[in-house]
Each structure stands twice: as structure tokens, then as C-alpha cells.
Amino acid sequence: MQTINLYEAKTNLSSLVERAAAGEEIIIAKAGRPLARLVPLATQRAIPRPLGLLANQGFSIGEDFDAPLPDDIAAAFAGTTP
């Protein structure tokens, strides 16, 4: 892990980002006091999450799924129930 002065970091930002992307961790300091850490982004999972995780588990969506709510329930969501 290398510590770089803020002025030098501003001057060489592109190369520092390339180094960080390659796996190096860089500390950016101002007047010798560490302020920030430049690290690579975490890589995405190698195995993507499968779609339809609960497929064939007996779940179904009713025909009236997107029908308007009854007035009393809609009022409760709106916070206007007596």
C-alpha cells in the first residue's frame, strides 16, 4: 500500500486509477494525513443469480393482482382512515 500526496494524486490520477484497477491499494494524504483510499471495485459474482428462484414452488399471482384496492384499504394506505 503506497501513500501519495494529494497534489501528486491530482496530477497523476489516471495512472493511479489504472494501478488501483489492477489491484493495488493507494492512500491519498494531505500534509501527511491520510484522507482517502483508492481501491479497485469489487468484481461481480462469477455465477449470476438464477431467475425464477421459486419456480415450481406453488406460487401464483391472482387475476385481480393489479385491480384497485377496496376503499377502506386504500384510505388506510393514504392515512385517511377515521
pLDDT, residue 45, reads 66
- Indicate yes or no: pTM above 0.85: no
**What are the residue ranges spanned by the domains of the chain?**
2-38
Regarding the domain delimited by 2-38, which CATH topology (the fold level of the hierarchy) does it fall under?
YefM-like fold (3.40.1620)
**In angstroms, what CA-CA distances link 35 with 1, 2, 18, 59, 72?**
14, 13, 20, 51, 54
pLDDT tens string 4-62: 999 999 999 999 999 999 999 999 999 999 999 999 988 766 677 777 777 778 777 88
C-alpha span between 9 and 41 (Å, rounded) = 18
Measured in whole angstroms, the distance separating CA 64 from the mean position of its chain's CA atoms is 34
